[in-house]
Homo-oligomer: A and B are copies of this chain.
Amino acid sequence: MKSKKAIVLLSGGLDSTTLLYLAREKGYKCSCLIFDYAQRHRKEIFSAVRIAKKTKSDYKIVKISLPWKGSSLLDKTRKLPKGSLRKKDIPSTYVSARNIIFLSFAVSFGEAIAADAVFIGANIVDYSGYPDCRSEFFKKFKQMIDIGTKNTRNIKVETPLLNLTKAEIIKLGQRLKVPYELTWSCYKGDKIPCGVCDSCKFRAKGFSQAGIIDPFIEK
């Protein structure tokens, strides 16, 4: 039997790495799609490549430019948010339409290799402020690609982490033997994680709630 093929959006962070291991467990042959979009934490790209290689997955690095301001994740003159983990407002790290753009490339790649699914590690529990992390969005996105592509194969849009807490993701990853020591979460791209940005805090809280020591810290 020919194995199923999936495109996995891999950032090199904790969620998308768990996602890759999960897709592999589900029997998919994975092609990882890694974006270089001049993010502050470009360091995550090296993590992503290392993880793709470790799982012997194909990978493509797509370089894109987003030459408009608006996000503190792209604009080094803006301060990264820190302190509060849960916000009602959309955080300043929001990059307009980022998931829409990433998924569009994944669909293009997926159609080119006749993939069966596109996996994205979006998560609504921690990122409730991002409009493109909501399940209604993914439903609409799927409807849009069904009509907007050749559609010779029906590409599924899989979001298995959508409703998991960070602690649940980490526990899942532990079972899947995800090498979290290779992942990178910090929004700053310094030598060691800053420990205070939203992403660092979510990670720390997740490991703490899961009762697991972050192997990144241990290494």
Contacts and interface: CB of A to CB of B under 8 A. Distances in A.
A105 B137 CA distance: 17
Given A68-B60, A101-B101, A113-B68, A131 B148 contact: yes
Interface residues of A, number: 44
Interface in A83-142: 90, 94-101, 104-105, 107-109, 111-113, 131-132, 134, 136-137, 140-141
This chain: how many copies in the complex?
2
B108 A101 contact: yes
A99 to B, nearest CB: 7
Contacts of A63: 63-65
Contacts of A101: 101, 104-105, 108
Given A67-B62, A144-B140, A100 B104 contact: yes
Interface string A189-217: 00000000000000000000000000000
Nearest to A69: B112
